[in-house]
Chain A
């Protein structure tokens, strides 16, 4: 078991290095140098050239990538923080420390001062949504899966297909029009500050609703299919025939076996909820991770993009690891093989 996890973590490290290198290489093709972005559009070329030279931006790609790795590992000082450049870029943690993600040219702040707040804001949004998506999709999925073709199944299936097909920006606007403009029950934007006179809790309602409506139908459909397959299995018939109550059959025999496939799907939703929520964040002006990543990408802020890549990849790989472990718990056959 320990070996398995160790192996997985090693693969994770390799994936992180490979992916960060890819992002580094691809960003070569976006216009604008780090020096130009640092100094802004009105700085003259002379200044930009001098800064580029001092940042050694003209070195070959591989050397610059290694330097970037060195900065993260704390082996090298971040050149942008060099006081003699006169940029006023300072990090209270110092220029050289383990986990130094560099300086954002867009926000003109250390990346470590930008992304964690944003990540926790999105974490809140994602966590609340996930906490609703799981039980909701389970109930709907099981209820329709155990009696495929029944009126209840058709009704639930139709509802979840319709909800999943409405894109987030559309449902965001519909819900806002109804609950904000027409009824005035909820705030229309979610900047997570209370200066607007609305509690943070009230600001969470609409974004969470949009994500849950969009996502739960899809997961419910997965669970439904899986449950439908399991209820046809001989051991379920046996359980029913030996006189177990329907409730016990579903809870003990159907659910556990039917969850094996949807379990992965559920974990994949964590990834979606962290980096795929950008539309919802835009619609509600939610100060989250997705919007930050979008702004940074449009600007070409390589430090923030790299940091966000590392963070989302780590979360994705950890989710996968948890998925594999969960698989083992749910399915003894995998453990044995």
Chain B
């Protein structure tokens, strides 16, 4: 019997052969536990009779040429604190990640050669890829990995990776002091000096205090880019990296130029040059720039843009199902949202199909108020939420609001689907007497208070695993717990799920979690949107990533 990186893998293979877990789930879990993507796909192919991923595809890509991308050119000084995908889509071409979650939601080793998890999922051994060289010629080693992991774990550096690490690598402790509002001041730090351990020059061990299944996914969180320690976290033109391109020019708010490296360790790049041009916020500019062939593509396009450009003969539309969504949530500390019946009533008031039509122009599927998406491997199918105005009104009356109530929801005008969805939902809530005034704030002001306002709508990006979102957003004290939700049962089951690699057991746990979300949970979540974009037909080899990440070493461009 071959030796597998984790003892659960043989059983998983058995479950897959017996048809008890589906293909995606098999690929997901086996690769998470350290089986290489190639081996996992090969096994899946054997069983299901499918072909291996065609490796030959890459060989057919055209070589050379310039890819012209229309995208925001925001400041990119600190990749570890990046807060927009656009920022990392520039730096992503120069610096890389330890792992890589592909468009198929399967996570593979990237700057790692492989990883192994202990039986209890508390110890993760990361094997650093040998033969990777920094652009300046220095070999890439475990020290580089450790420096980066420690840097994002230090609250002083303000990285959002800290939120993901909190709960298994990072612990929050009470400093004993109180802040201005009398709340205890918390300090976050690695739970032990040995939490991130150097085994040798090419091996790093993560010693966690609780089991964590999503470590490989966390290592691909967008700010978790591996920077050269010498540059002390600052990224600029000419910055060192292990990636396929070099940033040769950058003007914030205007343009960026990247040139291919000749000595890249991986496959590709096929392009010579990437030219990024800032084309602003207005939806019309994408259409206009594509029409006059000033750009070859954008990283993100909503359905309205797609409708406008799909008639252009030179444009191709790309779509992929994702866990991209928006949630309406009240603060659990505020009336009337602290009453579970009010939240239930609001969920019952939804005509979800109509919200999908009005909000995202039909480009998505029904949501079930659980924040666990069908594309995520842990998803357990729930009964669909159907509209029931009579029951909704009865619940409101029971909660002490027979005539409904007035409230103000905070949202933002960009991207347009957010405001459109809120408007559609506000109309539907009116029918049960919940009179919602819409307060649409400019994005920057919106982000100042998105997690503090009593009632708000929040767009949530795609994440490969549902437990990632759930622990950030709904666990007691979670970094992005915007609704201040706190439910001991939920927390306990979620922690258990985070440490359960057995797919069937985990799905049972997830079914319980989803049931709590539907019954007691803080959110109203009408849909899952598809991630979509448009590219010129000259662009070859492009695969739409549900998180809008661009891996431009994979694409080629045909001559005009």
Contacts and interface: CB of A to CB of B under 8 A. Distances in A.
Interface of A: 30-32, 36, 39-47, 88, 106-109, 114, 172-173, 176, 180-181, 184, 186-189, 191-193, 195-198, 282-285, 287, 291-292, 295, 298-300
B203 to A, nearest CB: 30
16 contacts: A32-B445, A39-B81, A40-B81, A40-B158, A44-B158, A44-B188, A46-B185, A108-B75, A184-B292, A189-B289, A195-B255, A282-B281, A283-B285, A285-B279, A287-B278, A298-B444
Nearest to B223: A42
A188 B81 contact: no
Contacts of A298: 442-445
Interface string B368-379: 000000000000
Given A198-B294, A300-B445, 8 more contacts: A36-B448, A41-B83, A42-B159, A180-B292, A196-B277, A287-B253, A287-B278, A299-B444
B245 to A, nearest CB: 16
Contacts of B442: 298
Contacts of A283: 282, 284-285
Contacts of B277: 191, 193, 195-196
Contacts of B390: none
B288 A43 contact: no
Most buried by B among A109, A114, A189, A192: A189
A196 B448 contact: no
Contacts of B400: none
A176 B254 contact: no
A85 to B, nearest CB: 11
A295 B75 CA distance: 13
Nearest to B163: A42
Interface string B289-304: 1111111000000000
A180 B287 CA distance: 10
A168 to B, nearest CB: 12
Given A42-B83, A107-B252, A299-B444, A282 B282 contact: yes
A332 B162 CA distance: 73
B292 A31 contact: no
Contact of A107 (B163, B253, B285): B253
Interface in B390-442: 442
Nearest to B273: A195
Given A32-B448, A40-B83, A285 B278 contact: yes
Nearest to A108: B75
Interface string B127-170: 00000000000000000000000000001101110110000000
A93 B253 CA distance: 22
Given A107-B75, A197-B293, A189 B279 contact: yes
Interface residues of B, number: 48
A30 B155 contact: no
Interface in B238-287: 252-255, 275, 277-282, 284-285, 287
A63 B81 CA distance: 32
Nearest to A301: B444
Contacts of B160: 42
A114 to B, nearest CB: 8
B234 interface: yes
Given A42-B159, A47-B158, A189-B289, A291 B448 contact: no
A19 B78 CA distance: 34
B444 A292 contact: no
Interface string B186-200: 011000000000000
B179 interface: yes
Q: Shortest 8 CB-CB distances between A and B: which pairs? A: A188-B288, A196-B294, A43-B158, A285-B280, A108-B75, A195-B275, A298-B442, A299-B444
Nearest to B289: A189
B112 to A, nearest CB: 25
A191 B278 contact: yes
A51 to B, nearest CB: 11
A196 B158 contact: no
A184 B83 CA distance: 37
A195 to B, nearest CB: 4
A327 to B, nearest CB: 39
A196 B292 contact: yes
B77 interface: yes
Nearest to A39: B158
Contacts of B254: 191-193, 287
B280 A282 contact: yes
B445 A197 contact: no
A41 B447 contact: yes
B352 interface: no
A176 B288 contact: yes
A187 B81 CA distance: 36
A117 B158 CA distance: 31
A43 B449 contact: no
